[in-house]
Amino acid sequence: MAGEAGAVSQAKTSNTKERLIAAARDLMIERNAAEFSLQEVAAKSGLNSALVKYHFGNKDGLLLAILQRDAEKSLAQVERLLARDIPATEKLRAHIAGIIDTYGRYPYMYRLVHLLMRERGEEEAAQVLRFFVEPLARFQKEILQQGVASGEFKPVNEGFFYHAVGSACDALFSWHPGARRIWGVSQMNDAVRKRYSDFVVDLVVNGVARR
């Protein structure tokens, strides 16, 4: 009873939800994986693990909340980019660089999308489609259509584009450190991310450019 009373008392504080999200996010960043236990979140946040159920229902609810927060920030940036009066090629370059920057800050993000869509229930998959996949696919479609209309891009399969770009942007962060060392990448830092970003941007832009 005392433990339950303590959990309810903690739940009433204004920043409890944010502390749980921050703790789980930090664990995933440290491990470069979408994995943690509720006990680990409790230990890192200094809160009772029962508060996850209080605020999010269960662990999947917490994962969805983290992904939704991350997605909202990223999609807001893309929406502002789309509104700018600049060529489609410039928009595409900024968009790809922005994805890689996001994955650099949240290296678990792409794998978290797949975890929730492929290994959880239909409800979780439907939510991820609604707040992340569909808006991002729509934004990318608008950039591609602008480029085709202006003569900058050749027509491409938008679904293939979405999946190929997502995989390419995440690849550097999902590689095992041992595999990265084969190619001379001993550690991840801003310089390595910038080099990788420039490479993927050129690869994608040249892939869709009309010759």
> How many domains does the chain contain in total?
2
pLDDT in tens, 164-209: 999 999 988 887 777 777 777 777 788 888 999 999 999 999 999 9
Give the structural domain span for 15.
1-57
Do 29 and 68 belong together in one domain? no
Q: What is the pLDDT of residue 194?
A: 93
Confidence of residue 72 (pLDDT cuts 50, 70, 90): very high
Do 5 and 83 belong together in one domain? no
pLDDT in tens, 1-49: 445 545 555 555 558 999 999 999 999 999 888 889 999 999 999 999 8
Sorted by sequence, the CB contacts under 8 Å of residue 139 that are 6+ apart come out as 75, 78, 79, 82, 95
Percent of the chain with pLDDT over 90: 73
Instruction: With beta carbons less than 8 A apart as the criterion, state whether 96 and 200 touch.
Output: yes
Q: What is the pLDDT of residue 13?
A: 57
Do 18 and 107 belong together in one domain? no
Do 51 and 82 belong together in one domain? no
